[in-house]
Amino acid sequence: MIFDRKNLDNDTLVSFYKKLLLPRMVEEKMLILLRQGRIGKWFSGIGQEAIAVGSTLAMADDEYILPMHRNLGVFTTRNIPLSRLMAQWQGKPSGFTKGRDRSFHFGTQEYKIIGMISHLGPQLALADGIALADVLSNQKKTTLVYTGEGATSEGDFHEALNIAAVWNLPVIFLIENNGYGLSTPTNEQYHCAQLVDRAIGYGMEGRRIDGNNILEVYHTITDIKNSIRENPRPVLLECMTFRMRGHEEASGTKYVPQNLMEWWSAKDPLANYEKYLLSQRALLPEWIPLIRKEFTTLIESEFEKVYNEADIVPDINTEVEDMYHPYNFPAAQPAATPATTKRYIDAISDGLRQGMRKYPNLVIMGQDIAEYGGAFKITQGFVEEFGKGRVRNTPICESGIVGAGMGLAINGYKAIVEMQFADFVTCGFNQIINNLAKTHYRWAQAVDMVVRMPTGAGTGAGPFHSQSNEAWFTKTPGLKVVYPAFPADAKGLLLAAIEDPNPFIYFEHKYLYRSISGEVPDNDVLIEIGKANIVQQGTAASIITFGLGVHWALEYTAKHPDQPLEIIDLRSLLPWDKEAVEASVKKTGRALVLHEDTLTSGFGAEIAAHIAEHCFKYLDAPVMRCGSLDTAIPMNKALEDQFLAKARLEETVEKLLAY
């Protein structure tokens, strides 16, 4: 192993040695504690510390790093107190996640580190969003994100690199090629000669270096960082190393050939760097035991201090409240005047435009939304007013763009991501369910983001463009879900979602875009999330619905004026207005839950269950549901009409009233 100190003096070289030694000694202690049963699990980075330490040393303290779960050296090099790290590993209150997540699955704005989720690849797109925020705010910074050679097989790897290349984002994508994904060797992970060759396909620079050489890592990252700060662009860096222990300790290493272990043992990054410093007389032999003793004392004292801390006392209210970032709806709203008659689609566009004007840090992203104005022309003219920096056409990659939106939110921006159709959200499902929704609960980071979902049937668009898929999200704590039925609500709920610093799923019904109009305040009047609207008063029965279902209910009651039905438009589904529903059902004694989604496991089942549990003694009939058929949505109009819940609404109401 050849070390090139370049312009580094002896004191700096020794400081690097200490940074390299500390995580190794911490790990050795953790392995002992694991065997003693004093900690639960450990993912070892022994043998590959030079990558984490060398790269972190090269980055400025105010530049974001997104590490993996073997990169203890990132955290120690950023000088996070060992007591906080050990509290995190032991699930103590003073850790970063209040015992809610383990090892390195956390982030910290204080140290500009954003930890991974177990799905590996999604963090790569977050780095894109973080870097985009720096570019938009004219900050000459670099973002560093790690991945393993195994995770390069995921689609998220491709999406993130492609986005960064297309947008010229200053991101260093660092691959720790440590030979194995759990027990799967590299020859079963990819077929190219070397992973860095993939850079060519994205039109980006790629480098391959010895990841066990701390000086080579440091100088390479320094060179790349300084270059892309001035000339923003992504770089792919493959660092060759080896994992000297199992995927986690229970896995062992029996699947690794002994000769391979011996070859890499000779390339130990700590031992080789120590020999180099001794040869340079930058480090004297008698210093080594003194440094080790100092670290041993520190590690022992920090561990025992945390080990003796009181354990977490579970509290239900704390757990529930921490799912969401605190937000108080404004106590007073401006008068809703003047008002203009607008179509549903124009009300949404109006809300987006006002949000963009109010918040210079709000960015809208989606397929074809810039010059073309989006598939439904909702953002037509936005580029001319706000510029392509804030109204961004995206590649076709829902997961990467949702992740980039989250990265923007992490780095001080607001993000709106448009799904061209709600059906396409499946391609970004992991980012929404496991990243957006859980982040505040895990480490108190707000994710100020809205995902717009053009949804629903009635246009003959078939199985892949017509689903009303709100139930996929209403069972996911951490998200807020809204579904307006009228133009004024569409604008007011959208503006409220933009204001609220939590992740929103905003459903907008395609059939309603140009089919209904109504009075819409010209100013920015917000509608409180979680508050239903009594669309029509009645006494015979309560119809609880939302979205297009509200219009079906109104159409039905217009044809049956002799039936005084009360219509409750929920507007918000997560949270939903239990008090309004209960009050209505207690008044009428009968309840029908109507929705466009399939009957089985539709959101209406949750409402019906709540009514049955909390309003049973007030009911004069069973709670009834009216939903669409338990099939995919057909394209043919006659088949689609048969599929939709509207086809069974009349008979269900008559059954309810006749009971």
Between 548-559 and 649-658, two packed helices, what is the crossing angle to 10 degrees?
A: 60
Query: 306: buried, middle or exposed (CB in 10 Å: 19+, 13-18, 0-12)?
Result: buried
Asked if 102 and 40 count as a contact pair (C-beta separation under 8 A), the reply is yes
Q: Please report, for residues 27, 148, 282, 419, 512, the alpha-carbon distance to residue 121 in angstroms, rounded to integers and kept in the order given.
A: 25, 9, 40, 21, 37
Q: Centre a 10 Å sphere on the Cβ of residue 505 and count the other Cβ atoms it contains.
A: 30
Q: How far apart are CA 499 and CA 449, in angstroms?
A: 10
Asked if 21 and 214 count as a contact pair (C-beta separation under 8 A), the reply is no
Which strand ranges, in their side-by-side order, compose the sheet holding 565-569?
533-536, 565-569, 541-545, 591-598, 624-628
Catalytic residue, candidates 69, 440, 465, 509:
465
Q: How far apart are CA 20 and CA 211, in angstroms?
A: 13
User: For 564, left (φ over 0), alpha (ψ -120 to 50), or beta?
Assistant: beta
User: Rounded to an integer, what is the distance from CA 444 to the centroid of its chain?
Assistant: 13
Contacts 24+ apart (CB under 8 A), 310-319: 310/93, 311/91, 311/92, 311/93, 312/91, 312/92, 312/93, 312/98, 312/99
Give the number of C-alpha atoms closer than 13 A to the C-alpha of residue 290, restricted to the C-beta side.
5
Asked if 392 and 404 count as a contact pair (C-beta separation under 8 A), the reply is no
Give the number of C-alpha atoms closer than 13 A to the C-alpha of residue 520, restricted to the C-beta side.
27
The pair of three-digit structure tokens given for residue 46, joined into one six-digit string: 């022994």
616 contact partners, CB below 8 Å, separation of at least 6: none
The pair of three-digit structure tokens given for residue 317, joined into one six-digit string: 């209210």
69 is catalytic: no
Q: What is the dihedral of CA 345, 432, 435, 438, to 10 degrees?
A: 90
Three-state SS at 521: strand
Query: 222: buried, middle or exposed (CB in 10 Å: 19+, 13-18, 0-12)?
Result: middle
**Residue type present at position 563:** Q
The residue among 137, 124, 253 whose CA lies nearest residue 185 is 253
Q: How far apart are CA 416 and CA 599, in angstroms?
A: 30
Q: How far apart are CA 611 and CA 606, in angstroms?
A: 9
User: Rounded to an integer, what is the distance from CA 46 to the centroid of its chain?
Assistant: 30
Q: How far apart are CA 529 and CA 497, in angstroms?
A: 8
Asked if 104 and 116 count as a contact pair (C-beta separation under 8 A), the reply is yes
Asked if 173 and 400 count as a contact pair (C-beta separation under 8 A), the reply is no
Catalytic residues: 465
